[in-house]
């Protein structure tokens, strides 16, 4: 019953009387708080009870009602084990509820490691386990600088994504820039056309999110290399201000392409001519293929200037090489028209986008990978439409094309090696690469063809396996060169895979479809798709093998160790 006040009325029982902390019989009641004292907290320990927690079989450990200091510190055994005084829940060991005496280990990302691998190590950690690496405080770290840091981060990511860089490398660059300016709790997100980054100052503050849309893509590896140098300077220099970053970025955007338009047209012709030599054509075929590719390039520029989508640009670019091949066949010239058309196809197959799409899929960026592969499919359909239209017209006019003819009938190792290196050199010009990277990419393309020819033509290994092995060496050497120069791997890889592109298989598949031979056409196009996937997977595998030689930093030390974080998900569940 409640107490009786002066008026004789019954008072209701207080909340303390109903509390679970009411002392048992025989123990005195706690004194009522005075005006200067706080009422008894729900966390307070009733007087008379020892500072211990008696755990029942169904009670959860680590309750919020355990007063600080009540639990004994672990004296032995591993942290979280039952021997350390923390108990278990349903037989499962639990970790400590407080910071261990030795502290939380800090990951030191050494400056000797390339920033790509430092940031990739952080990105591949779960957000809840991602520590804040040690760094030097910058003078610009304030609330007012956060929007500027997010903006410069998004602008850098936009140039990288528009230049064809993989989604993981773009996220690594964005994360590196944001972290260098003091935004540890940030999370960049990259899709095919959208970049976003979210920063949360603390657990109680609202997050700040910014985004940017990539509407236009332009292949310029010189600009890409300059952005990589900018990111390296930001992440390695402690006094690199955002004003300096904005100034450097403006200079990168204002810089003109290293090669003029006429040089790109000549390079397109040289690429097609070299490809025609590579598949068994002569010097007359070289001239015809080069002429067709240059006409196709001018038509594509005309379509682009009129604002037509890229699909129609590829349709226009694919028609002149096919028309010249048909004309040579109708004229009964002693020239391989098939080699002319195949050379033109080499200049149009989107190998760069295909490699980037497969790489994004292998590293866990499935949305971006699906979008890239869908883009590749549309471009290939444009090539198919252009070539099939010309082949169909040529067959109706009486052109004689033999789909059973093998293009590489005679083995000319010296001529083919020269053609492969010339093809890689022309690709470097088309990709607007820096002149300092052209020699390495050209040699890498020669090595790729040498490996493929040795395995396929000499050893008799199937074309898919030979292509994958050659592409793997291209990716390996390209990744090592890029890490040595602290730059992107694309300039050393994309041009070098040019000699491996499945131009002849694509041509024979389209020719069979034009002749209404569906079984042979589908089989040849399937072989072309297999070769293209072998190139992409081989390049990615070479990249991963190269990264195995770069040891990830060991927590708590400045020395690298053998372990390295895997991709986002390594199992199917």
Structure tokens, 126? 């779960």
- Rounded to an integer, what distance in angstroms lies between the CA atom of residue 193 and that of residue 121? 25
Residue with tokens 């956060």: 146
- Rounded to an integer, what distance in angstroms lies between the CA atom of residue 509 and that of residue 19? 83
- Classify residue 59 as exposed, middle or buried by CB count within 10 Å of its CB (0-12, 13-18, 19+): exposed
Q: Would you state the pLDDT for residue 130?
A: 57
Pairing between strand 552-553 and 560-561?
Answer: antiparallel
| Through-space distance between the first and last CA atoms of the chain, rounded to whole angstroms | 60
Q: Answer whether 224's CB lies under 8 Å from 352's CB.
A: no
Q: Would you state the pLDDT for residue 335?
A: 75
- What confidence tens digit (pLDDT) does each residue in 279-327 have? 888 888 899 999 999 999 999 999 988 889 999 999 999 999 989 988 9
Mean pLDDT in residue range 97-104 = 49
Predicted structure pTM score: 0.71
Structure tokens, 490? 């694309």
- Classify residue 392 as exposed, middle or buried by CB count within 10 Å of its CB (0-12, 13-18, 19+): middle
Q: Would you state the pLDDT for residue 104?
A: 47
Residue with tokens 């755990």: 55
Residues found in the chain = 573
Q: Over 50: is that where the pLDDT of 121 sits? A: yes
Contact residues for 373 (Cβ-Cβ < 8 A; gap 6+): 354, 357, 358, 361
DSSP label at residue 88: E
Residue with tokens 């471009």: 379
Greatest C-alpha distance within the chain: 125
- What confidence tens digit (pLDDT) does each residue in 353-390 have? 888 888 888 888 899 999 999 999 999 899 989 988 99
Question: Alpha helix (H) ranges present in 408-462?
Answer: 413-430, 435-453
Cα angle value 543/546/550 (rounded, 5°): 130
Could you tell me which residue, 12 or 503, shows the higher pLDDT? Answer: 503
- Residue 436 C-alpha from the chain's centroid: 25
- What confidence tens digit (pLDDT) does each residue in 40-83 have? 444 455 555 555 444 444 444 444 444 444 444 444 444 333 33
- Rounded to an integer, what distance in angstroms lies between the CA atom of residue 241 and that of residue 247? 10
Contact residues for 421 (Cβ-Cβ < 8 A; gap 6+): 442, 443, 445, 446, 449
Query: Side-chain half-sphere of 433: how many Cα atoms within 13 Å?
Result: 27
């Amino acid at each position: 019953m409640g107490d009786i006040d002066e008026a004789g009325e019954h008072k209701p029982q207080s909340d303390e009387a109903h509390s679970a902390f009411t002392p048992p019989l025989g123990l005195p009641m706690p004194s009522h708080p005075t005006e200067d004292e706080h009422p008894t907290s729900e966390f307070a320990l009733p007087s008379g009870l020892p500072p211990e927690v008696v755990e029942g079989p169904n009670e959860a450990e680590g309750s919020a009602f355990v007063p600080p200091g009540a639990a004994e510190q672990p004296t032995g055994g591993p942290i979280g084990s039952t021997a350390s005084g923390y108990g278990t829940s349903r037989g499962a060991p639990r970790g400590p509820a407080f910071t261990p005496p030795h502290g939380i280990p800090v990951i030191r990302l050494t400056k000797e490691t390339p920033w790509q691998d430092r940031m990739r190590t952080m990105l591949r950690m779960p957000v809840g386990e991602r520590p804040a690496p040690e760094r030097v405080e910058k003078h610009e770290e304030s609330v007012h600088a956060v929007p500027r840091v997010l903006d410069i981060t998004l602008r850098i990511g936009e140039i990288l994504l528009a230049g064809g860089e993989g989604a993981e490398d773009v996220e690594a660059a964005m994360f590196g820039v944001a972290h260098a300016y003091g935004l540890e709790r940030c999370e960049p997100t990259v899709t095919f056309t959208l970049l976003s980054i979210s920063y949360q100052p603390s657990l109680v503050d609202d997050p700040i999110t910014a985004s940017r849309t990539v509407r236009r893509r332009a292949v310029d590896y010189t600009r890409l290399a300059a952005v990589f140098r900018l990111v390296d300077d930001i992440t390695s220099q402690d006094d690199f201000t955002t004003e300096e970053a904005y100034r450097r970025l403006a200079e990168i955007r204002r810089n003109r392409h290293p090669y003029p338009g006429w040089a790109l047209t000549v390079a397109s012709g040289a690429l097609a001519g070299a490809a025609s030599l590579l598949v068994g054509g002569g010097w007359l075929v070289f001239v015809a293929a080069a002429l067709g590719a240059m006409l196709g390039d001018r038509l594509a520029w005309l379509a682009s200037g009129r604002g037509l989508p890229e699909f129609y640009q590829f349709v226009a670019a694919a028609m002149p090489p096919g028309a010249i091949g048909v004309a040579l066949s109708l004229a009964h010239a002693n020239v391989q028209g098939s080699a002319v058309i195949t050379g033109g196809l080499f200049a149009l197959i989107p190998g760069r986008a295909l490699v980037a799409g497969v790489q994004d899929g292998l590293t866990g960026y499935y949305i971006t990978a699906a979008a890239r592969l869908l883009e590749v499919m549309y471009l290939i359909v444009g090539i198919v439409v252009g070539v099939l239209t010309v082949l169909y017209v040529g067959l109706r006019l009486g052109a004689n094309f033999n789909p059973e003819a093998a293009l590489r009938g005679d083995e000319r190792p010296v001529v083919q090696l020269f053609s492969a290196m010339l093809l890689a050199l022309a690709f470097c010009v088309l990709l607007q690469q820096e002149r300092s990277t052209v020699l390495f990419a050209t040699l890498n393309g020669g090595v790729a063809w040498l490996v493929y020819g040795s395995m396929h033509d000499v050893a008799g290994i199937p074309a898919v396996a030979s292509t994958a092995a050659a592409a793997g060496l291209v990716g390996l050497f390209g990744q090592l060169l890029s890490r040595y120069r602290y730059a992107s791997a694309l300039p050393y890889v994309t041009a070098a895979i040019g000699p491996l592109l499945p131009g002849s298989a694509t041509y024979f598949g389209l020719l069979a479809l034009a002749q209404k031979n569906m079984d042979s056409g589908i089989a040849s196009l399937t072989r072309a798709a297999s070769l293209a996937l072998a190139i992409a997977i081989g390049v990615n595998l070479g990249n991963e093998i190269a990264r195995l030689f770069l040891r990830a930093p060991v927590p708590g030390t400045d020395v690298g160790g053998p372990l390295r974080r895997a991709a986002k998900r390594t199992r199917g569940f």
